[in-house]
Amino acid sequence: MPAKDRFKHLKANVPSLVLPAKKTSPLPPIVDLPDATTIQIDDKSVKLSKTELYDVSEIGRGQFGQVNKMTHMVTGKVMAVKRIRVTPDQAKSKSLLMEWKVPKNSVECPYTILFYGAFFCENDVWICMELMDRSLEELYHLVYDKLKESIPELVIGKMALSTLKALTYLHDKLNVMHRDVKPSNILINQNGEIKLCDFGIAGELVDSLAKTDIGCRPYLAPERIDEPQHEYDHRSDVWSLGITMYEIAMGEFPYPVDTLRSIFGLIEMIVKGSPPRLTSDRFSGEHKDFVAQCLTKSRDSRPRYKDLNAHSFIQTIENTGVDMHCWYTTILTKYNDDLPPDKTEPSATNVPELVS
- Establish if 64 belongs to a structural domain: yes
CB of 249 closer than 8 Å to CB of 156 = yes
Structure confidence at residue 196 (pLDDT): 93
Is residue 98 located within the same domain as residue 203? no
Per-chain mean pLDDT for the chain = 80
Identify the pLDDT of residue 220: 86
Residues 107 and 226 in one domain: no
Predicted confidence (pLDDT) per residue in 56-72, tens digit: 999 888 766 788 999 99
Q: Is 180 a catalytic residue?
A: yes
CA dihedral sign, ordered 64, 67, 73, 75: positive
Cβ distance 121 to 35 under 8 Å?
A: yes
What pLDDT shows up at residue 234?
Answer: 84
| Terminal alpha carbon distance of the chain | 88
Residue 172 in any domain: the answer is yes
Residue 195 lies in a domain: yes
Query: 125 and 139 share a domain?
Result: no
Total domains present in the chain:
2
Between the ranges 7-11, 209-213, 261-265, where is the mean pLDDT highest? 261-265
Backbone angles phi, psi at 126, to 5 degrees: -100, 115
Residue 356 has pLDDT above 80, yes or no: no
Both 192 and 326 in a single domain? Answer: yes
Beta bridge partners of 66: 61, 83
Indicate the residue among 113, 130, 147 that finishes a domain.
130
Position 59: which residue type?
I
Regarding whether 297 and 229 lie in a shared domain, the answer is yes
323 with 204, same domain?
yes
Is it the case that residue 10 has pLDDT exceeding 60?
no
Which 3-state string (H, E, C) describes the chain?
A: CCHHHCCHHHHHHCCCCCCCCCCCCCCCCCCCCCCCEEEEECCEEEEECHHHEEEEEEEEECCCEEEEEEEECCCCCEEEEEEEECCCCHHHHHHHHHHHHHHHCCCCCCCECCEEEEEEECCEEEEEEECCCEEHHHHHHHHHHHCCCCCCHHHHHHHHHHHHHHHHHHHHHHCEECCCCCHHHEEECCCCCEEECCCCCCEECECCEECCCCCCHHHCCHHHHHCCCCCECCHHHHHHHHHHHHHHHHCCCCCCHHHHCCHHHHHHHHHCCCCCCCCCCCCCHHHHHHHHHHCCCCHHHCCCHHHHHCCHHHHHHHCCCCCHHHHHHHHHHHHHHCCCHHHCCCCCCCCCCCCC
How far is C-alpha 82 from the geometric centre of its chain's CA atoms? 12
Q: Are 294 and 322 in a shared domain?
A: yes
190 and 267 share a domain?
Answer: yes
The string of pLDDT tens digits covering residues 169-219 is 999 998 888 888 999 999 999 999 999 988 664 444 333 333 444 445 788
Residues within the annotated binding site for ATP? 82
Which pLDDT score is estimated for 89?
64
pLDDT for residue 119: 87
- pLDDT, position 135: 94
Question: What is the rounded CA–CA span in Å between residue 327 and residue 151?
Answer: 10
Higher pLDDT, 314 or 222: 314
- Residue 259 belongs to domain spanning: 134-330
pLDDT at 20 exceeding the cut of 90: no
| Domain-terminating residue out of 86, 113, 130 | 130
In a domain, 31, yes or no: no
Of 124, 180, 233, 237, the active-site residue reads 180
Sign of the C-alpha dihedral, residues 43, 44, 49, 55? Answer: negative
167: nearest Cα among 193, 185, 188: 185
Same domain flag for 174 and 278:
yes
Question: Does 342 map to a domain?
Answer: no
Q: Cβ distance 114 to 130 under 8 Å? A: yes
Between 145 and 49, where is the model more confident?
Answer: 145
pTM for this predicted structure:
0.80
Q: Are residues 245 and 306 in the same domain?
A: yes
**CB proximity list for 199: less than 8 A, separation 6 or greater:** 98, 99, 101, 102, 103, 176, 178
Of 130, 149, 178, the last residue of a domain is: 130
In a domain, 306, yes or no: yes
In a domain, 13, yes or no: no
**pLDDT above 70: residue 13:** no
The CATH number of whichever domain residue 168 belongs to comes to: 1.10.510.10
CATH number of the domain bearing residue 103? 3.30.200.20
173/318 same-domain check: yes
Q: In terms of Cα–Cα distance, which of 111, 145, 144, 107 is closest to 127?
A: 107
Which range among 48-52, 133-137, 210-214 shows the weakest confidence by mean pLDDT? 210-214
The yes-or-no verdict on residue 284 having pLDDT over 80 is: yes
Residues 273 and 298 in one domain: yes
**35 versus 291: which is more confidently predicted?**
291
Whether 62 is in a domain gets the answer yes
Nearest to 62 by CA among 78, 79, 81, 82: 82
pLDDT band at 42 (very low <50, low <70, confident <90, very high): confident
